[in-house]
Amino acid sequence: MGRKQTPSQTIGPYFAYGLTPRQYGYPFSAIAGADMVPEGLEDGERIRVQGRVLDGQDTPVNDAMVEFWQADAFGRYAHPADPQASNTPFGGFGRCGTGTDPESRFILDTIKPGAAGDGSAPHINVTLFARGLLVHLFTRIYFADEQDANARDTLLLAVPEERRRTLVAPRRETDKGAVYDFDIRLQGPAETVFFDF
């Protein structure tokens, strides 16, 4: 008896509860959360990345889930396929739902990544899951204060110049440190650039 292909995800607003249980008040462990900085990590600048997932009418989506994957402060991924092999305790993977914040934001506490090689600016890889999406979406967050590196990033340069701004997060300083604001727009004239990986 052959097995049938299964969908890439289950549609519905409930998957974030199971994949980010602590955020929703459940006392279960999870493989990833919204605070990616392990205790005792000394390398790298602590930053916060926050934003909203917005639909075509600029209404915040309050049941989306956002995953993040990034290099450490030295540009190395905690993954066996990275020949540089990270030697810090930074795992580089986080996950956050938008359903518990009063403004329907995702809020990620992490470190600012380093460039992962020539032709690559510091960035955070993003995967978005939300109701109505049959397949998850992929995008990236680049940093506005990395203009020189952004100008050499191979993937960013492949995006039409007028659309690149949808991938760049401005920095602002707060009393708690640097914050990068990054809204993900699903539709409309300022729609975020999404990639086919």
Global confidence as pTM:
0.86
User: From start to end of 19-112, where are the E strands?
Assistant: 46-54, 65-70, 93-97, 105-111
In 3D space, the residue among 94, 121, 113, 107 whose CA is nearest the CA of residue 49 turns out to be 107
Could you tell me the CA-to-CA distances from 44 to 2, 47, 77, 89, 179 in Å, in that order?
A: 49, 9, 14, 12, 15
CB 50 within 8 A of CB 181: yes
Cα angle: 100, vertex 105, 110; to 5 degrees: 100
Residues in contact with 106: Cβ distance below 8 Å, sequence separation at least 6, in sequence order: 34, 50, 51, 52, 53, 64, 66, 96, 97, 98
Map tokens 């007028």 to a residue.
162
Distance CA 133, CA 154 (A): 28
Structure tokens at 4: 């049938």
pLDDT 10s digit of each residue in the chain, 197 long? 566 555 554 555 556 667 777 777 778 777 778 888 878 777 889 999 999 999 999 999 998 999 999 999 999 887 666 656 666 677 889 999 898 899 999 999 999 999 988 899 999 999 999 888 888 999 999 999 999 999 999 999 999 999 999 999 999 999 999 999 999 999 999 999 999 86
